[in-house]
Amino acid sequence: MPELPEVETIKNELLPHVLGRKITGVAVFWDKMVKQPTAAEFCERVTGQKITNLTRRGKYLFFHLSSGEMLVMHMKMTGSLLINPPDAKFARAIFQLDNGAVMHFRDPRKFGKMWLAADESAVADKLGPEPLDNDFTVETLTKILRNRKAPVKPVLLDQAIIAGIGNMYADESLYEAKIHPVRPACSLSEVEIKRLYTAIRRVLRAAIKNKGASVRNYIRPDGDIGTAHAEFRVAHGTGKNCPRCGTLIKRIVVRGRGTYLCPKCQPEP
């Protein structure tokens, strides 16, 4: 968290504010958030650069700079990028733009990271396919799952296998596809894989339409929240009932991740 829909929303809503703007100053208040180079050199190299594009890959944001370098950001657990916020609470870095606007990297728990890279490949080459791209097909998902004996949910969460799907959207997708999260990935039938494929894409598209899910710390660039969580069927559903059958939603732990499911609609293998 933020996951693919939240990062896509951040990208879409930041673009009008940052595209073509020059970074006139940078202040970093938590040096450890800068992976490379040093925080001081980072500020020096970014200052004076024009933002020529802003793209997303998985959960990463890439600010394309006029120098040819990429400013890479990962929000991790609690990060947000805010434009002209009313205060600097939890601001770990502030970017000043040539139109007088400021962009805050807000991160209450200080997990977020940013760094400079020569291009996107250093990050992108380590990621799996984008689940909403046209070349991500049922056949692609079938090849991914076919020989993996691990539980299906951790497979969906592995960014090297599929980029961008996080914990809550994996729960929602598996619920919609009526698949238990601990089912071995290789055990899914052709029909189940098709259901899962359709569910992943529908769940992610709906969440993007609703500007992401503000379950905990996620805030959109203008300070508003996303509303995708209002349509969650099982994710973070402690104490709620399944909207299909009325069974109490259950929370289990799968490979260290809190996982929500309907024990009736998603029978345990």
Q: Please check whether residues 117 and 163 belong to one and the same domain.
A: no
Q: Please check whether residues 109 and 154 belong to one and the same domain.
A: no
Q: Please check whether residues 92 and 20 belong to one and the same domain.
A: yes
Q: Please check whether residues 143 and 256 belong to one and the same domain.
A: yes
Angle at 261 between CA 259 and CA 264, to 5 degrees: 150
* Secondary structure (DSSP) of 110-130: S--EEEEESSTHHHHTTS---
* Amino acid 122: pLDDT: 86
Confidence of residue 38 (pLDDT cuts 50, 70, 90): very high
Residue 160 lies in a domain: yes
Rounded Cα distance, 121 and 5, in Å? 22
Residue 269 lies in a domain: no
Rounded Cα distance, 149 and 16, in Å? 44
Q: Please check whether residues 110 and 144 belong to one and the same domain.
A: no
Which listed residue (21, 57, 59, 92) is catalytic? 59
Residue 188 lies in a domain: yes
* Amino acid 140: pLDDT: 98
Residue 116 lies in a domain: yes
pLDDT surpasses 90 at 195: yes
Let me know if 21 is a catalytic residue.
no
Q: Please check whether residues 108 and 152 belong to one and the same domain.
A: no
Residue 142 lies in a domain: yes
Residue 267 lies in a domain: no
Which string of b and e fits 46-76 if b means at least 16 CB within 10 Å? beebbbeebebbbbbbbbbbeeebbbbbbbb
Bridge partner residues of 81 (DSSP): 105
CA neighbor of 77 nearest in space, from 168, 201, 170:
168
pLDDT surpasses 90 at 215: no
Q: Please check whether residues 37 and 103 belong to one and the same domain.
A: yes
Residue 132 lies in a domain: no
Q: Please check whether residues 184 and 226 belong to one and the same domain.
A: yes
Of 124, 156, 180, which residue constitutes the final position of a domain? 124
The count of structural domains within the chain is 2
pLDDT surpasses 80 at 1: no
pLDDT cut 70: percent of the chain above it: 100
Rounded Cα distance, 145 and 179, in Å? 13
Residue 12 lies in a domain: yes
Q: Please check whether residues 25 and 116 belong to one and the same domain.
A: yes
Q: What is the mean pLDDT of the chain?
A: 97
pLDDT surpasses 80 at 89: yes
Q: Please check whether residues 116 and 24 belong to one and the same domain.
A: yes
State mean pLDDT over 210-232: 94
Read off the amino acid at residue 62: F
HEC profile for 160-187? CCCCCCCHHHHHHHHHHHCCCCCCEHHH
Q: Please check whether residues 8 and 116 belong to one and the same domain.
A: yes
Task: Give me the CATH number covering residue 222.
Answer: 1.10.8.50
Domain span at residue 204 reads: 138-261
Let me know if 2 is a catalytic residue.
yes
Which listed residue (178, 194, 257, 264) is catalytic? 257
The answer to whether 262 touches 175, Cβ cutoff 8 Å, is yes
pLDDT surpasses 90 at 216: no
Q: Reduced to 3 states, what is the DSSP secondary structure of residue 204? A: helix
Rounded Cα distance, 265 and 261, in Å? 8
Q: Please check whether residues 114 and 168 belong to one and the same domain.
A: no
Q: What is the pLDDT of residues 128-178, one digit of tens each?
A: 999 999 999 999 999 999 999 999 999 999 999 999 999 999 999 999 999
Cα separation values, 215 from 13, 174, 204, Å: 19, 19, 16
Which listed residue (2, 5, 151, 154) is catalytic? 2
Quick one: the chain helix, strand, coil %, rounded to 5?
30, 25, 45
Which listed residue (3, 6, 172, 176) is catalytic? 3
pLDDT surpasses 80 at 105: yes
